[in-house]
Amino acid sequence: MRPYSAQHAFTLIELLVVIAIIGILASLSAVAISRIRVHGQVVDAQRQMHQLLNAIVEYHSDTGAYPVSDGVKGAAIASQGDFTCGGSALDAVFGGPGAWSTNNSEIIAILMGLERYPNTGGPTANFGHVKNTRQKRYLTANMTGGTDSPGVGQDLVYRDPWGNPYVISIDLNYDEKCRDAFYQKSVVSRDVNAIGFYGLFNSSDTSGNSDQFEYRGGVMIWSLGPDKRAALDHANAGANRDNVLIWR
C-alpha cells in the first residue's frame, strides 16, 4: 500500500492540465469582457449621435436654418448643396484634406451656445451669439480636458468613444436629400444599380455608377467605429463593416 501523500498528490501532468484550463478560461473571459466593452461603446456612440441629431433638428425647428456659418452655407450651395464635416476622420480615408476637412466644432459651438474656443480663446461661428441668438443650449455633452479624448474637446470637436470626430452631413439646399462625402460614393454605397446599402439611393443615375447616393432626410451622422477606420470599399464589408451609422 502506497503512503497517503503519494496517493493524493498532483502529478506534474495534472498540474499542467489544470494550468492550461485556467489559461483557456482566462482567455475566454478576456474576449467576452472585450466584446461587452465594445458593445457598450457602440451603444454610447448611437446615443450620442441621436442626441446630436435631436439638437440639430430642434435648432432647425427654432430658427428655420441649420447650425453652420454663412461661409459654409454659401460654399455648399455653390457646389452640390450639401455639406460634410469630417475633419481628420475623412482626411485619413481620402488621403489628404478636401472639402470635408472642416471638423464638427462649428456645429457644436452653435448648438452649445459658445462664443469662443476653450483651448485658444478664438471666436467661434457663434461669436456675438449671431447663430444662437436665443443663447439656448441645444446640446448637452461631456466636455473633456484635451483635444483627442471622447466627448467634446477643448477645440469643441465632438469625438466618438474611440476618439475620432463624428462625421456630420447636412442638407443645405433643403431638398430633404442629404449626400455625405463618403457614403455618396458609388464604390461604397451601391448595392444593386441605384439601390444603395442601408437605405441610401441614387435618384440621379439609375445605374448607380455615379457618386450621388443620398439619404432621405436632412442630416446624416456616423462614426468610424471600434476599428477607427473606413475605406473606399462596400459599406457592409472590411473596414466599413463596424462603422456606426445613425440611419442604419
Based on the structure, what is the number of domains in the chain? 1
pLDDT at residue 79, as a whole number: 67
pLDDT at residue 239, as a whole number: 97
Q: What angle do CA 189, 57, 176 make, to 5 degrees?
A: 45
Does residue 17 sit within a domain? Answer: no
Does residue 172 sit within a domain? Answer: yes
Does residue 96 sit within a domain? Answer: yes
Does residue 89 sit within a domain? Answer: yes
Does residue 82 sit within a domain? Answer: yes
Residue 100 belongs to domain spanning: 44-104+165-245
Query: 226, 206, 211: which is closest to 99 by C-alpha?
Result: 211
Q: What is the DSSP string of 80-141?
A: TSEEEE-THHHHHHHTS--TT-S-THHHHHHHTT-SB-TTT--B-TTGGGSS-TT-------
pLDDT at residue 178, as a whole number: 95
User: What pLDDT tens digit does each residue of the chain (248 aa) get?
Assistant: 455 455 566 788 888 888 888 888 888 777 777 778 889 999 999 999 999 999 999 999 999 999 998 888 777 665 668 999 999 999 999 999 998 999 999 999 999 999 999 999 999 999 999 999 999 999 999 899 888 899 999 999 999 999 999 999 999 989 999 999 999 999 999 999 999 999 999 999 999 999 999 999 999 999 999 999 999 999 999 999 999 999 98
pLDDT at residue 78, as a whole number: 56
Nearest-angstrom CA–CA distance, 58 and 72: 20
pTM of the model: 0.86
pLDDT at residue 28, as a whole number: 77
Does residue 144 sit within a domain? Answer: no
pLDDT at residue 154, as a whole number: 96
Does residue 70 sit within a domain? Answer: yes
pLDDT at residue 77, as a whole number: 64
